[in-house]
Amino acid sequence: MTALSGLVLADAGEAADLAAFLGRLIHYDRAAAVRLQVGDGAVAVFGRPPSFDVLAVRTSRLAGAGSGAGAGAGADAGDLDVTVSAGELLEGIDESTGAVAVPGAVTGPPWAGVLPPRGGWRQVPGLPEPDAMRAAVAAAVAEFRARDEALAPQDRTRAARDRIGREIWSRTLGETELPLRAVHAAQSLGFLRPARRADADPAAVALLAAGGWLRLRTPYGSIAVRRAGLGVLSVAPV
């Protein structure tokens, strides 16, 4: 693996959280790619778990950055914006030191060229408490399984299961426009877990909007979804 650049995260905890995020993405897609953007003392890693039809974002604080060849003359962490293999990036994380070796660039999937805006976000009302969101996901998974099991054996086709899933996961959460699949993704990727004491600020979990995008923000990462959708929805519960 030829390193494109080297990053140093703020501490070992940031490295462990980034590694966990990448591991979860790879669980859903062993060939997953992620897009990295560095700015304002942090690195944002964008991924798209195919089971949910959303963009997942993990932002990690930087302690410093190195530079290397491969991204063009003068490339360094200050202007790093690259799409790489999630698996190779995971291999390049040293959790004991917080160092991250960024692998060589890969041809990005189509979604990597359409990211949420960096600014202009405003908070929108109506988001339920995290416990209620987790309960809504659990109820939706239970409903999917019950309706799937109720199908006659000859009717339990992929098309039939997809129809059930589209109907359930496209529902919006409470009084918001946020599709339930975005909350499911947040829980499955570890973003909606109970907050640590240091992250107990109720405002840390919020629903934001900018242009045609919605973003569910938590202390552990964000889930972004376009109001018009991002493509074909895969619906099997996980």
Between 232 and 173, the more confident residue is 173
pLDDT band at 2 (very low <50, low <70, confident <90, very high): very low
Q: Decide if 77 contacts 62 (C-beta within 8 A).
A: yes
Q: Decide if 228 contacts 213 (C-beta within 8 A).
A: no
Q: What is the DSSP letter of 172?
A: B
Q: Decide if 89 contacts 34 (C-beta within 8 A).
A: yes
pLDDT at 81 over 90: yes
Q: Decide if 67 contacts 8 (C-beta within 8 A).
A: no
pLDDT digits (tens, 9 = 90+) for 3-21: 456 899 999 999 999 999 9
Q: Decide if 102 contacts 82 (C-beta within 8 A).
A: yes
Residue 112 is predicted with a pLDDT of 93
DSSP 15-65: HHHHHHHHHHHHHH-TT-EEEEEEETTEEEEEE--TTTTSEEEEEEEEEEE
Q: Residue 35 and residue 21: Cα distance in Å, rounded? A: 13
pLDDT digits (tens, 9 = 90+) for 91-138: 999 999 999 999 999 998 999 999 999 899 999 999 999 999 999 999
pLDDT digits (tens, 9 = 90+) for 214-227: 999 999 999 999 98
pLDDT band at 78 (very low <50, low <70, confident <90, very high): low
- Residue 122's DSSP bridge partners are 209
**Could you tell me the residue ranges of all domains in the chain?**
5-106, 122-226
pLDDT at 73 over 60: no
Question: What's this model's pTM, rounded to 2 decimal places?
Answer: 0.84
Q: Is 172 left (phi over 0), alpha (psi -120 to 50) or beta?
A: beta
Question: Angle 180-188/158-169 helices, nearest 10 degrees?
Answer: 100
Nearest one of 61, 87, 63, 236 to 163, comparing CA atoms: 236
pLDDT at 76 over 80: no
Residue 199 is predicted with a pLDDT of 55
Structure tokens at 181: 């699949």
Q: Tell me yes or no: is domain 5-106 CATH 3.40.720.
A: no
* Interacting residues of 111 by C-beta distance below 8 A, sequence separation 6+: 48, 55, 230, 231
Going from the C-alpha of 32 to that of each of 91, 133, 190, 217, the distances in angstroms are 13, 27, 18, 22
pLDDT digits (tens, 9 = 90+) for 151-195: 999 999 999 999 999 999 999 999 999 999 999 999 999 999 876
pLDDT at 54 over 80: yes
